[in-house]
Copies of this chain bind each other. A is one copy, B any other.
Amino acid sequence: MSQAHERPTLEAVARLAGVSRATVSRVVNGSPKVAEPIRSAVRRAVEELGYIPNAAARSLVTQRTDSIALVLPESASRVFSDDPFFPSIIHGVSQELDAADKQLVLMMTNTVAGYERVERYTTARHVDGVLFASTHGVDPLPGQLARLGVPVVVTGRPLGRSAVPYVDVDHVGGVRAAVRHLLETGHSRIATIAGPQDMVAGIDRLAGYRAELHGSDRRSIVAVGDFTRESGATAMRQLLEDDPQLDAVFVASDLMAHGAITTLRELGRRIPEDVAVVGFDDFDISRYTDPPLTTVRQPILELGRELARQLLRVIAGDEVPPAVVLPTELVVRASA
């Protein structure tokens, strides 16, 4: 370990500037009550020594760490295969935290050890707040942390009661627009490939489909996938067995929609002539499928940003709404 240069401390700056540590501290932290000549003398000393405050020492007394944990509780493989959902969340969160000069600590709970690690780390208040992305089922940790007084915000309306503020997108509204589009373009046998029913995104999108179909004389035809391409391909096959006459399908995620398209193609169905397909996500890649995918856009980057913004507000002690719901939008391309 090279020892290199000892880093200068407040003490050193104070000595060089001929003032006390307290005064240097005030200048460094932008306190208004320091006379201008002294202020600039201190600034010069800071500059000259290349002084940078020691974060550990500061945290020790302020009880703040200026860092935020982002917890991704998904199974690792899904988080980082070719599903851009989490990367976009990370990106959005990162943008806001950068602007607020906070660090982003990334944590995964893909293993039991990982989960315990996160639990230990966050309850020990090693971070000023915790963000949870896409909780599966009923994760007790967010509520638990909130009860301990740790600022927490999650993505997605939590299943079960929960006092934790959340940010979500308007699943139901988006899906209804999609199904309505299929109805309006003359489709009569509209199936759906739903997402996992232990996730709010999966549940709400299926609910939206049912709600929009309800009242029309169309019956619902449902298969369930897990948001992966493979599950979409399998589910599509199953739907066609259930109802070979179906002429449209709303798929609860773009990746599953890609899988469904593959299956349809293999079975010789034309899209959209024989079967119209609508997805949900609007991933970049969906502009390049053949045919380009009609889908419901959800603002994932913005979801991440809003998530961070809400947490920063909680940390600042501001009042925050219990829920923020971002709009979704149907993007019509060639597949429906």
Contact = CB atoms under 8 A, between A and B. Distances in A.
Interface of A: 1-5, 7, 52-57, 59-60, 65, 67, 76, 79-82, 84, 86-88, 90-91, 94-95, 98, 101, 103-108, 111, 113-114, 117, 120-121, 123-126, 147-149, 229, 258, 262, 283-285, 288, 290, 317
A233 to B, nearest CB: 10
Given A59-B56, A114-B98, A148-B5, A67 B120 contact: no
A76 B107 CA distance: 20
B88 A80 contact: yes
Contacts of A5: 148-149
Contact of A87 (B4, B7, B56, B80): B80
A63 to B, nearest CB: 9
A148 B3 CA distance: 8
Contact of A103 (B7, B81, B105): B105
A126 B66 CA distance: 12
A303 to B, nearest CB: 13
B80 A84 contact: yes
A104 B101 contact: no
Contacts of A65: 55-56
A149 B91 contact: no
Nearest to A287: B229
B288 A262 contact: yes
Given A4-B148, A258-B288, A91 B105 contact: no
Contacts of A94: 106, 108
- The majority secondary structure among interface residues of chain A is mixed
Contact of A55 (B123, B124, B262): B124
6 contacts: A1-B317, A60-B60, A79-B87, A80-B88, A81-B284, A90-B90
A3 B149 CA distance: 6
Contact of A52 (B80, B124, B288, B317): B124
Given A52-B124, A117-B101, A81 B82 contact: no
B56 A60 contact: yes
B105 A105 contact: yes
Contacts of A86: 87
Contacts of A3: 149
Contacts of A113: 98
A98 B82 contact: no
B56 A149 contact: no
Contacts of A111: 98
Nearest to A1: B317
A36 B88 CA distance: 50
A164 to B, nearest CB: 13
A238 to B, nearest CB: 19
B149 A2 contact: yes
Contacts of A91: 76, 79-80
A120 B55 CA distance: 12
Nearest to A62: B56
A323 to B, nearest CB: 20
Contacts of A125: 7
A82 B80 contact: no
| Interface-centre pick from A52, A55, A108, A123 (highest chain B CB count, 10 A) | A55
